[in-house]
Amino acid sequence: MTDPLKTTHEVITSFWRRHVWARPLMVLAFLAVVGWLLRMKVESSLQANLTSVLQTTLQAEKEAVRNWVRIQQNIAASAMADEQIKATIDSLLAGAKPDATRVELLSLPQAADLRRVLNPLVATHKYNGFVVLEKSGRIVASNYDQLVGVQLTEAEMGFIREHVLVEDPMMLPPIKSKAVMPDRDGVERAGVPVMYSTAAIRSESQEVIATLGLRIQPEVEFTRILEIARIGGTGETFAFDRRGVMLTNSRFDKQLRRIGLLKDDEDSTLNISLRDPGVNMTEDLRPKLPRSEQPLTHMAAEASEKRDGVSIEGHRDYRGVPVVAAWEWLDDEGFGIATKVDVKEANQTLTIISRAFGGLYALLAIASLAMLVSMVRANRLAAQAQLDALELKRLGQYTLEEKLGEGGMGVVYRAKHAMLLRPTAVKFLDSSKANEKSIARFEREVQLTGQLNHPNTIAIYDYGRTPEGVFYYAMEYLDGLDLQTLVARHGPQPEGRAIHILKQVCGSLAEAHSIGLIHRDVKPANILLNARGGMFDVVKLLDFGLVKLVDSASESQVTKAGGVVGTPMYMSPEAYQSPKTVDARTDLYAVGAVGYFLLTGEPPFVGETMLDVLKHQIQSIPEPPSKRLGQPVSQEFEQLLLRCLAKAPADRPATAYDIITELDRIPTANSWTEADARYWWRRYVPNLPSTTPPGAVISAQPSSTIILDPANAASILPPR
């Protein structure tokens, strides 16, 4: 009977002997886990400390505000307890007729007496003035003449009856003044923020008939109290009402003016709403929604519902800057207070520790991966030696002659058939990158392309595996130049030649579409122009390796579901937005883009990054070729190209055959003759190259073709 322990030991021993490279990786993984656990413990401790600091700061500010409010309430109550002040106000109320005008109220001797008796109190406690408000909502006295005789609206009176005309002294949160008065800089204007400490005025029967309000400038003490406790260089503490309007000044007023949240003559008190713009506006990003439609910040939304809390996970503040914060709603005072600090500053210590750990990880990785790198290099050398060995012998019916080039997954050799002596290109799968997925993709490329026999489609002759297990296939040898090279060397092409080329491309696509195949990567680099059999400007469409078999059950096994396949400058909008739904019309979009490129020397859309190009493909309307080129183009040809480039597939020509038919009807369709083509080739390509450009025979060029997940597109698209 087989000993299971012995068998297991032999398997493990065999694994370590065959996979020496796994040892440093195991050490690296162990150290990474230990480091991660240690970092998590340090992070937890720092977060607990940050929570404590926020809560302590908030509680200290809350007590300071409440003490100040109580002092102001006591001063107002003491004023009404003063017999002289009380008698003067009673006399004023008795002499103020209900229909008296402002002039009549100001002319009352009691009005001057009240200013005289209240001035010492106002000066001593640095008040900004006073008002006497009747129960009816009329202001009968004030040190500002503009306020005298003002009648409050019914909406304002609702608030007054609830918060002012009450038995106990009250402190009203900041409101905007109705009168023109000096702001904190001495500039007289309306809407200056003011607060009132109020005390009830009672009749002989102790009924509240009016109120005395002592006016306070919020920035003199209220804001200053909340400015005392700030955390670091970005911390601030402020008050706000239930609507999320800031009741004190922000420390970032200059910044708020720069990003457009404040006007030049405003400060933040009563002018800033605690709303989340959705972006960091300090980085010059613009929110999508207007300020009035933006949601309250997390802190303001919670506090307005009377839910106190602390958030160290980070949320955006009214500038869109990520912050950590603590907040509390003061029900008796009728407003909330919060303290916050930018996440970046709050996490400075953790960032330093993370960088230190990162540095250690980097050193460990360098040391641990040194052996792995050497193993990889050894494997590559072995793979190269394997391919070199192939050059020294025949491969079935083919004799290998020289390497032509290599791409992301394969290497190509020029070969010759032993009996037919026909030049052939043989493509091998790079054995160092061989796995079941890549082999499946190569076999799929061969099988799909092998179904096509149109004269403008590259022909596949054979495929198989070498005795060493290397997958290969043999294909038609081509010795022309691709359209990308053609335009790069010779500029925009004549209209007739462009039509001649597009007809051949559409012929190849028409056959593929008729059997349910979609190319998905039609582009200038995949269209080769040749001189063959005495004919010139013969097109060969290459790289059916990215082809999609419509309704194929095996498709998902070799192509990631939902992945984007193609080249951005020639990719249809639907290929990026909903790659699972593309059909043959995505190839027709690319045909239009190739024709545009041939005519103008440029693709329809360009950008600094490929992501910019993709955005243009989805959103922008292409400029007419004649305008881009700066010279006339046949209206029929221009309109056909623009229809091919329509955003909606339904607005494009229905099939490749339809495009061929329309191309034949263009007046310049036959302006490029065989004689023209022969002259061009003999002038510019007198001796055809003896080797094939890598792009002509290797599919899926990594420098231009992308296969990506839409959610990660922005992070991996290379620069233009």
Between the alpha carbon of residue 98 and those of residues 93, 107, 150, 214, 366, the distances in Å are: 10, 15, 12, 23, 89
What whole-number distance in Å separates Cα of residue 88 and Cα of residue 100?
Answer: 18
Task: Provide the residue type at 696 as one letter.
Answer: A
What whole-number distance in Å separates Cα of residue 670 and Cα of residue 190?
Answer: 78
**What b/e string do you get for 440-469 counting C-beta neighbours within 10 Å, with b at 16 or more?**
ebbebbbebbbbbebebbbbbbbbeebeee
CA dihedral 453, 458, 464, 466 (to 10 degrees): 160
Cα 420 vs. chain centroid, distance in angstroms?
A: 58
What whole-number distance in Å separates Cα of residue 381 and Cα of residue 3?
Answer: 40
Query: Within 10 A of 92 (CB to CB), how many other CB atoms are there?
Result: 21
Main-chain phi, psi angles of 526, to 5 degrees: -100, 10
Q: Are the CB atoms for 320 and 261 separated by under 8 Å?
A: no
Start-to-end CA span in the chain (Å): 65
What whole-number distance in Å separates Cα of residue 96 and Cα of residue 83?
Answer: 20
Q: Are the CB atoms for 553 and 695 separated by under 8 Å?
A: no
Main-chain phi, psi angles of 240, to 5 degrees: -155, 155
- Which string of DSSP letters, residue by residue, matches 625-668? HHHHHTS---HHHHHHHHHHT-SSGGGS-SSHHHHHHHHHHSTT
Residue 26: name the closest of 378, 435, 364 by CA.
Answer: 364
Q: Are the CB atoms for 674 and 517 separated by under 8 Å?
A: no
Question: Number of C-alpha atoms within 13 angstroms, CB side, residue 61?
Answer: 31
Main-chain phi, psi angles of 64, to 5 degrees: -65, -45
What letter does residue 215 receive in the DSSP assignment?
E
3-state SS assignment for residue 563: coil
What whole-number distance in Å separates Cα of residue 667 and Cα of residue 91?
Answer: 102
Cα 689 vs. chain centroid, distance in angstroms?
A: 47
What whole-number distance in Å separates Cα of residue 602 and Cα of residue 594?
Answer: 9
Residue 562: name the closest of 581, 546, 545 by CA.
Answer: 581
Return the active site residues. 521
Main-chain phi, psi angles of 211, to 5 degrees: -140, 145
Angle, in degrees to the nearest 10, between helices 635-644 and 495-514:
40
